[in-house]
Chain A
Amino acid sequence: LAKTTQPISMDSYEGQEVNITCSHNNIATNDYITWYQQFPSQGPRFIIQGYKTKVTNEVASLFIPADRKSSTLSLPRVSLSDTAVYYCLVGVNNQGGKLIFGQGTELSVKP
């Protein structure tokens, strides 16, 4: 399973765009890149998933370069409610796949 490296913490202010980068040098051909968000005292919540190039949904965008050795989660115009831990995971995300969580990035959004 590919190991991921991401910053332990980040600070931002309301209204700013936040970019969290994750390194996954050993990503395999079949692996997808998936990001989860976790609020205190809650289970993680699926945010976005991609394989290559760019994926966008109503919550975030995910940028993946051609070599797929890293990825960047982009949160546009963050608010205080975006304060959470964000996890980058790499693996085969089909049913039966086994995803291993790393340390995550603790994002703190300030007024």
Chain B
Amino acid sequence: NAGVTQTPKFQVLKTGQSMTLQCAQDMNHNSMYWYRQDPGMGLRLIYYSASEGTTDKGEVPNGYNVSRLNKREFSLRLESAAPSQTSVYFCASNGGAYYGYTFGSGTRLTVV
């Protein structure tokens, strides 16, 4: 099925550990995004990539790095996880004006 695929779906980390969240889309979209959603809150933009080879900071970039590996893949890295980064992370791609964003199913990350 066409869409946005995120891995892993669940992850528990200890404080200070590092990990990379993977995201891939097969819709040939140029733009990709990473959001986080804390309980009872809306989504906050972490980083985005308007096109292959470019990345820009969003609202809450501190503690994260991203890599736009190619047109399909956009990864999010936590170098030294902190409990404040416990959240659900959503990746999205943008199909343009008439289609909006397509979101993945999310990665639920817990940092203990």
Contact = CB atoms under 8 A, between A and B. Distances in A.
Interface of A: 32, 34, 36, 41-46, 49, 87, 93-104
A10 B106 CA distance: 26
A81 B100 CA distance: 22
Can you list the 8 inter-chain pairs with the closest CB atoms, starting with the nearest?
Answer: A43-B103, A46-B100, A96-B50, A101-B43, A101-B42, A95-B30, A95-B31, A43-B90
Contacts, number: 69
A41 B106 contact: yes
Given A42-B106, A46-B100, A96-B50, A104 B42 contact: yes
Nearest to B59: A100
Interface string B63-107: 000000000000000000000000000101011111111111110
A104 B43 CA distance: 9
Contact of A44 (B48, B51, B98, B101): B101
Contacts of B94: 93-97
